[in-house]
Amino acid sequence: MTPPVHQSIEAMKQARQAMTGRVAFVPTMGALHEGHLSLVRKAKELADTVVMSIYVNPSQFAPHEDLDKYPRDLQGDIDKAVSAGVDEFFAPNNDMMYPEGFGCWVEPDWPMMRLLEGASRPRFFRGVATIVLKLFNIVQPNVAIFGLKDYQQFLVIERMTRELHLDIEIIGAPLIREADGLAMSSRNAYLTSEQRKHALLLNQILKETETALRQHPEQHPQRLCETMRERISQIPEGELDYFELVDPKELTPLETTQPTMLAVLAARVGQTRLIDNQLIELNH
């Protein structure tokens, strides 16, 4: 059976009115992989109906980024998502989401917006927060699932939902990796097989960071960061964007170790920008 794929805002809103019970929402940009499908499975546990949006949101891409070449395969995505449990899809287009003259942006402005992804991609979270709020208003879910692969994005959505008084439960779902440890990402498709091997080092560096902190919990986090930044810079075709050990709530760089820390990185391998992170709990 082909599931409903709503391609207009009106159709999606009408379909929502007809849904009974709890509705879970999984927003995506398509090019689905197991990471996305894990969110769907989580959604299925939490609600009666699962809605997925598939929309490559132009406002979260900078002009030099990969908006035009971002992989798109709507039918392939629908097939995968249905087998994981999606009941209905919302697949709008740019003219609907950003009609001529659009100008009402959601502009998150917490200190963390000047850190990590916020520092490297200055307009990114404005684009994300705006589209997610718009999608929330159209789909009106009871619960929405986001991957902790995009850790900072999860914090932004959680805080936005709280500060704007939305009645939506925000759930963070674990980062899903390939068997060899590479964080799953739609952008992995850009990597050559050589580059993919190099990219594996990113996860290894996160693991080494965790091991180093467990072995010497008293060490200075910034010194460890320096070592790991150096390691990333030495990856063939690699270019460091950031590597930080931060507080998992505020994302501020740590000056001393603490029981729970987040190691978080962004780096380019060839032309492809990759992100990864690892929560480190010293008492576990």
* Site for ligand AMP, rule CB under 6 A: 28-29, 35-36, 38-39, 146-147, 149-150, 173, 175-176, 183-186
Q: Nearest-CB residue to ligand AMP?
A: 147
- Complex with ligand AMP: residue 29 or 115, whichever CB lies closer: 29
- Joined tokens for residue 164: 């704007």
Count the neighbouring beta carbons within 10 Å of the beta carbon of residue 283: 6
By CB atoms closer than 10 A (0-12, 13-18, 19+), residue 46 is middle
Q: 237: phi > 0 → left, psi -120 to 50 → alpha, else beta; which?
A: left
In the complex, the smallest distance separating the C-beta of residue 5 from ligand AMP, rounded to whole angstroms, is 17
Cβ–Cβ < 8 Å for 131, 56: no
In the complex, the smallest distance separating the C-beta of residue 149 from ligand AMP, rounded to whole angstroms, is 4
Q: What are phi and psi of 47, to 5 degrees?
A: -150, 170
In the complex, the smallest distance separating the C-beta of residue 78 from ligand AMP, rounded to whole angstroms, is 14
In the complex, the smallest distance separating the C-beta of residue 271 from ligand AMP, rounded to whole angstroms, is 17
State how far the alpha carbon of 160 is from the alpha carbons of 128, 168, 233, in Å.
11, 11, 35
Given 36, 64, 165, 220, the catalytic residue: 36
- Complex with ligand AMP: residue 16 or 36, whichever CB lies closer: 36
In the complex, the smallest distance separating the C-beta of residue 146 from ligand AMP, rounded to whole angstroms, is 4
- Complex with ligand AMP: residue 56 or 224, whichever CB lies closer: 56
Catalytic residue status for 64: no
In the complex, the smallest distance separating the C-beta of residue 144 from ligand AMP, rounded to whole angstroms, is 9
- Complex with ligand AMP: residue 17 or 75, whichever CB lies closer: 75
Q: Give the bridge partners for 170, in sequence order.
A: 144
Q: Which of 214, 248, 213, 208 has the alpha carbon at shortest distance from 228? A: 208
Cβ–Cβ < 8 Å for 74, 92: no
Range 135-144 burial, b when 16+ CB lie within 10 A, else e: bbebbbbbbb
- Complex with ligand AMP: residue 183 or 199, whichever CB lies closer: 183
- Complex with ligand AMP: residue 173 or 265, whichever CB lies closer: 173
State how far the alpha carbon of 185 is from the alpha carbons of 62, 70, 77, 120, 125, in Å.
19, 12, 14, 19, 18
Which segments within the chain are labelled E, that is strand? 5-6, 23-28, 49-54, 88-90, 143-147, 169-173, 238-246, 260-269, 272-281
- Joined tokens for residue 167: 């009645």
The set of catalytic residues is 36
